Amino acid sequence: MKVSDFLAPGNALAGVRTADKRKLLLQLSEWAAEALDLPTETVAEALAKRESLGSTGLGGGVAIPHARLAELKAPYGIVAQLRKAIEFEAIDGQPVDIVFLLLLPAERAGEQLNALASVARKLREPQTLLRLRKAGGADELYLAMTTD
């Protein structure tokens, strides 16, 4: 599975302003809920429940908040480049400036793992991270995340 299978060009958000992790997750929940025609609370609560198990901040300034939703038929992603890094309780204690929100169908376990693995693999590539951080707009951000 490729990131472009579940990340649309319109879901690349460059220069996002946010004060903290909670507000960021709410902003991303609102964006996703509108696109998926779901209540914002459904998305926000699923993300909060997952974060309560442990932070999705992977280290190196990257986080992949994710959740399973029974209402979804396919994975859905949003990539966000933050204007200013925020505290995210990442495993390395470093603030986060690149966030990939991933919403997954509740029932397709194999597909979920493939989607999450493809995002994690892409965000471990130093060249990808450099391109994401230097992206001057949504188009560059999308290309950085989806180009091999």
What global pTM score does this model have?
0.94
Mean pLDDT of the chain: 93
pLDDT at 110: 63
Q: Is the pLDDT of residue 39 over 80?
A: yes
Q: Domain ranges in the chain?
A: 3-146
Q: Is 86 helix (H, G, I), strand (E, B) or coil?
A: strand
Strand extents, DSSP E, the chain:
7-16, 57-59, 62-63, 66-69, 76-86, 96-105
Strand extents, DSSP E, 17-95:
57-59, 62-63, 66-69, 76-86
For residue 71, which phi and psi values (nearest 5 degrees)?
-75, -15
CA angle 65, 66, 70 (to 5 degrees): 155
Quick one: what percent of the chain has pLDDT higher than 70?
Answer: 97
Q: Is the pLDDT of residue 116 over 80?
A: yes
Residue 53 burial (CB count, 10 A):
7
pLDDT at 106: 87
Mean pLDDT across the stretch 39-52?
A: 95
Quick one: what percent of the chain has pLDDT higher than 90?
Answer: 90
CA distances from 94 to 85, 97, 111, 144 (A): 9, 10, 30, 22
- What's the CA gap between 44 and 26, in Å, rounded? 6
> Among this protein's residues, is 1 annotated catalytic?
no
The reply to whether CATH 3.40.930.10 applies to domain 3-146 is yes
pLDDT at 148: 78
Q: Is the pLDDT of residue 112 over 70?
A: no
Active-site position among 28, 66, 119, 142: 66
Q: Please write the tens of the pLDDT for every residue from 60-108.
A: 999 999 999 999 989 999 999 999 999 999 999 999 999 999 999 987 6
Work out whether strand 76-86 and strand 7-16 pair parallel, antiparallel, or are unpaired.
Answer: parallel
Q: Is the pLDDT of residue 27 over 80?
A: yes
